[in-house]
């Protein structure tokens, strides 16, 4: 048992209950998984242009997720 007492007004606000189940989260995660797969294949074969394509796909996936979140398809900003 903790000896620290926290007043109710000092507690953080309740988190959203969607746990990342949003379009922006899905697009970002799937895009990053594809990018990691392509980059890892490029490293395994050693073909460096394929690795850089994987890195580019990761950048595109992150940009797509950020765009979708900005358009309201992600977890709301506070």
pLDDT digits (tens, 9 = 90+) for 32-62: 999 999 999 999 999 999 999 999 999 999 9
Encoded tokens for 52: 């850089």
The answer to whether 27 and 64 have CB atoms below 8 angstroms apart is: yes
* Domain assignments of the chain as residue spans, ordered by start: 28-71
- Report pLDDT digits (tens) over 8-31: 777 777 666 667 788 999 999 999
């Amino acid at each position: 048992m903790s000896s620290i007492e926290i007043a109710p007004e000092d507690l953080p606000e309740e988190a959203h209950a969607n746990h990342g189940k949003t379009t922006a989260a899905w697009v970002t995660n799937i895009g990053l998984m594809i990018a990691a797969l392509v980059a890892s294949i490029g490293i395994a074969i050693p073909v460096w242009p394929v690795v850089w394509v994987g890195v580019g796909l990761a950048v595109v996936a992150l940009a797509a997720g950020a765009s979708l979140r900005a358009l309201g398809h992600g977890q709301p900003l506070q």
